[in-house]
Structure 1
């Protein structure tokens, strides 16, 4: 893997992990602002616990070595959660302020996924890749 790609991967992954971990904790402890936001979007408050746990587990999956398939699932979960958040805010008539966080985390998810090292990818045969094909 080129040094540039490795730097991009780790910067994006660090920011993605910090963002998902912090928002996951905020959702898990049900901060007042987060409860208000989810109620305004029309979702039940218990959804915060589920999303918070998934985000924290997703961060762990992305950061630990090996388990390429688990990483793919975590990236997919982040992608679906953030696109769902963006759509929910748009449907709820929210402005750019509410869209900034989910859009940023979506971009970081895609960048981290795209630049991930070969040993964090699934090969076409189902195992992890041993060589970098980028």
Structure 2
């Protein structure tokens, strides 16, 4: 892996981890803004707990060494959660600013996954 690719990987991964950790904690705390947002999108409040826990577990998995199969699942979970959030905002006719957070996290997920080092990849036999 080139130095350039390693820098891209770690910058994207650390920003992804920060974003997922922050949103995961906010979802676990179930602030009024967050419950209002979930209500606006038509989702039940218990989904906040599930998303918050999954995001925090995903961050731990992506940052931890080894466990390449689990990392694939974490990246897939991040991808599905963020693409689902984008679609939900689209379906709710939300403003452009509401798309920024999930779109940024989706892009960071893709960049982190693409540039991950060989020891963090699932090797096909």
TM range (shorter): over 0.9
Write out aligned runs for 1:22-101 (5 A): 22-101=22-101
Unpaired runs of at least 5, structure 1: 126-134
- TM-fit CA distance, 1:96: 1.1
Larger radius of gyration: 1
Q: Which has the higher contact order (CA 8 A, sep 6+)?
A: 2
Count the aligned residue pairs: 125
User: Normalised by the size of structure 1, how large is the TM-score?
Assistant: 0.93
User: Larger % of helix: which?
Assistant: 2
Distance 1:79 1:42 in 2: 20
Secondary structure (helix, strand or coil) at the match of 2:10 reads helix
User: Normalised by the size of structure 2, how large is the TM-score?
Assistant: 0.99
Secondary structure (helix, strand or coil) at the match of 1:65 reads coil
- TM-fit CA distance, 1:39: 0.3
Unpaired runs of at least 5, structure 2: none
Runs of 4+ aligned residues of structure 1 deviating over 2 Å after TM superposition are none
Match of 2:106?
Answer: 106
Residue 120, structure 1, aligned to residue 116, structure 2: no
- TM-fit CA distance, 1:95: 1.1
Secondary structure (helix, strand or coil) at the match of 1:55 reads helix
Distance 1:50 1:120 in 2: 26
Distance 1:36 1:19 in 2: 20
Match of 1:13?
Answer: 13
Deviations 1:69-126 (A, max 9, x none): 000000000000000000000000001111000000000000000000000001112x
